[in-house]
Amino acid sequence: MNTHLINNQWHVGLGPAFESINPSNGDVVWQGNGTNTDQVNSAIKAARAAQLQWADKPLEERIAILENFAAQLKEHSEEFATIIARETGKPLWETRTEVGAMTGKVAISVKAYHERTGTTENPMPGAKAFIRHKPHGVVAIFGPYNFPGHLPNGHIVPAILAGNTVVFKPSELTPHVAEFTLSLWLKAGLPAGVINLVQGEIETGKALASHKDIDGLFFTGSSNTGHLLHKQFAGHPGKILALEMGGNNPLIVKDVSDISAAVHDIIQSGFITSGQRCTCARRLFIEKSANGDAILEKLISATKNIVVDDSFATEQPFMGAMISEKAALGMVAAQSELVSKGAQILVELKQLKPGTGFVSPGIIDVTSITDMPDEEHFGPLIKVYRYTDFDSAIIEANNTSFGLSAGLLSDSEDDYTHFLKRIRAGIVNWNRPITGASSAAPFGGIGASGNHRASAYYAADYCAYPVASVESDKVSLPQTLAPGLVIE
Ligand SMILES: NC(=O)c1ccc[n+]([C@@H]2O[C@H](COP(=O)([O-])OP(=O)(O)OC[C@H]3O[C@@H](n4cnc5c(N)ncnc54)[C@H](O)[C@@H]3O)[C@@H](O)[C@H]2O)c1
Ligand SMILES: O=CCC[C@H](NC(=O)CCC(=O)O)C(=O)O
């Protein structure tokens, strides 16, 4: 099977075999072999050979290829949404929005390129001062399985726009999505070597990340892997590493009059994509009050009514399957562990069908647990904390090594101002779900969630480095020389 794209040629993998499975029914979606180390080397060589020529192209030519890609995405949107749904288990309505986000990324990245990394010219006596931006060179891009199209695309598009060339290593759980993405780039007229695709499991990732001839690595994935990469990059200050990782995101609810609206925003925050978004609310803080009781009661009944079904069901479900049966069972086990620590199940998260990734959404009250693990449970399980005092809820919300997203549902603007000043996260929302971040804003977290290299609108920043120049079209002697200097 032709799996890897090197220098615009498809290659059969020479490494270990692997496959992807449709988590809704256990069907094999894709089979192939990963790369071996020689193939990873060849991909990097191809990217290196193509880089100068690509960066030398007039910007308009690079943009034209990106726009062709957006047109290809539009033309093949339904086919692509179907492929993503089959490989991830996400509902079709949602994978259609993923393809839409990929298409929109092109125009947003062009705008960001000009605004954040364009050329600035300032006059100065006898010369001009310029700020320009240059590409790093060859960058490795690693993607996760939950948005196998949109999130790698959020690195690839700004990277090549800036003049870098890329070696892309997708999640081993979503190889078909990656292959289809590259087939659209080829149709868009991508020159050879500009984006190379290497597929495989961890060994492929390790061979690429540790390669001496990459100039940087842009990563979206788990905090564990991101931390490993950070260690690996220690001692290489010349290489740029951009890390987008997970979160243990808090959502605090306080004094809301529209209880149904609050429940809606909690569900959108906690359960969209079966809880498999890095921005999902993992910890829900609800006041111990009549208002808090009413919100929790409505949340419990609405959660029990959430429709979980196949990606292609005629009546579209809110949630599809999780990425794999292993992930689904992992969530069941996480729930059991919390129960063993003293948590109380309010709505049980259950695997709905053996051999699949289908789980029902769960809510668990963890207020009485004293040794809560600071872990990202990457699935549809909301952990409820009942609180009596707003400030202690904010302190507990900040009691995490992560800092990706956070939110407050409250009718009071004063409460929000207070919360915004104190909460530590890269995305902080008020009376809106904490998922669904815009590509037109910076996106990233602090602490164990990232390394201050925000993506989305700010991805332009890590795709190029600034060059400051003072320029004059001829050398000229200054009118006044420095003391002690005589030039005759
Ligand atoms: N902050 C964000 O923007 C963001 C977005 C989506 C997902 N995520 C996070 O991603 C996670 C889910 O995605 P995932 O499970 O695919 O992540 P993951 O870390 O398992 O995998 C991400 C990529 O890294 C590769 N990889 C894994 N181990 C490696 C190693 N030792 N060396 C080199 N490469 C390696 C994988 O093959 C994959 O391509 C969640 O934690 C989620 O919060 C973060
Ligand atoms: O799973 C993590 C991504 C979640 C998603 N964020 C974005 O799409 C950020 C915007 C971008 O990268 O263009 C979300 O917040 O739902």
Under the banding of pLDDT at 50, 70 and 90, the label for residue 2 is: confident
Mutate to test the pocket of ligand 1, among 146, 276, 405, 435 (most ligand atoms within 8 A of CB): 146
Chain mean pLDDT for the chain: 97
Residue carrying structure tokens 């909460």: 423
Convert the pLDDT of each residue in 259-317 to its tens digit. Answer: 999 999 999 999 999 999 999 999 999 999 999 999 999 999 999 999 999 999 999 99
pLDDT digits (tens, 9 = 90+) for 477-488: 988 999 999 998
Give whole-number Cα distances, 451 to 117, 426, 448, in Å: 20, 11, 8
Model's pTM, two decimal places?
0.98
**How does pLDDT run across 82-122, given as a tens digit for each residue?**
999 999 999 999 999 999 999 999 999 999 999 999 999 99
Q: How many CB atoms lie within 10 A of CB 46?
A: 23
d(CA 51, CA 163): 7
Q: How far is the C-alpha of 177 from the C-alpha of 174, rounded, in Å?
A: 6
* Three-state DSSP class for residue 477: coil
Which of 98, 109, 151, 222 maximizes ligand 2 atoms within 8 Å of its Cβ, making it the mutation to test the pocket?
A: 151
61 catalytically annotated? no
380: closest CA among 425, 301, 321?
321
Amino acid (one-letter) located at 13:
G
Q: Is 158 helix (H, G, I), strand (E, B) or coil?
A: helix
Interval 330-369: pLDDT, tens: 999 999 999 999 999 999 999 999 999 999 999 999 999 9
Q: Write down the pLDDT at residue 488.
A: 84
pLDDT of residue 1: 63
Whether 278 is catalytic: yes
d(CA 202, CA 298): 43
For residues 240-244, average pLDDT? 98
**Which member of 94, 98, 244, 376 is catalytic?**
244
Q: Tell me the pLDDT tens digit for each residue of 175-223.
A: 999 999 999 999 999 999 999 999 999 999 999 999 999 999 999 999 9
pLDDT for position 395? 98
**Range 406-426 average pLDDT:** 98
Nearest CA to 166 among 206, 135, 204, 202?
Answer: 135
ipTM exceeding cut-off 0.85 for this assembly? yes
